[in-house]
Structure 1
Amino acid sequence: MPKITYVAVDAAERTIDVQAGTSVMRGAVFNDIDGIVAQCGGNLQCATCHVYVDESTLDKPEPIQPNENEMLDFTACPRRPNSRLSCQLTVTEALDGLIVHLPERQK
């Protein structure tokens, strides 16, 4: 099972096994990771699952799609080049070792 590391604002890290086929967002929600609100439940409508993909693992996710790119303009914390919506990051074996940093706030 792929391992995803979530890094809180205070730099505390939590690495969890996330089932392939689910999303990085659902992995956070199912494992009580603070910092992912997921208000819309993963429907690409709220941007409350914003994360910053660690530079060292930036090559792991699939390229950003237009709808996600547009929704990232509505994040509570500043958008960066490594910003992604965790609901749009489908976990595969290729994401094993992915590191995401949580923003200061989601809404």
Structure 2
Amino acid sequence: MAEPSKASGQYNSVMGSAKEAVGGAIETVTGSTQPSSWTTAGKEQHAKGETEIKAAEAKAYAEGLGDRVQGKIDSVVGAATGDRTKQAQGNIQHDKGQAQMNINA
């Protein structure tokens, strides 16, 4: 199974919505009270896309949390040992992780 992707999820969400619209137009023209195959397929593809977007966001959030924790550890160790480079790198990694979490919250 492929990694979840926001881009792929957006594509499926938009394409699913488009198929739903086509299905709705077909139903209007034909006067059908049953959902067309376009409508059904569109709803399924849209839902798949939205699920993939959420999975990609959750994965990125977890990765940001990992960076944040590891950065904090490195920063504290660097401060305790007097290693300013390690401390600075830890602070940068911590901040990067925090930003990634904020984007995907």
Q: TM-score range by the shorter chain?
A: under 0.3
TM-score by length of 2: 0.18
Higher-helix-fraction structure: 2
TM-score by length of 1: 0.18
Q: Which structure is larger by alpha-carbon Rg, 1 or 2?
A: 2
Higher-strand-fraction structure: 1
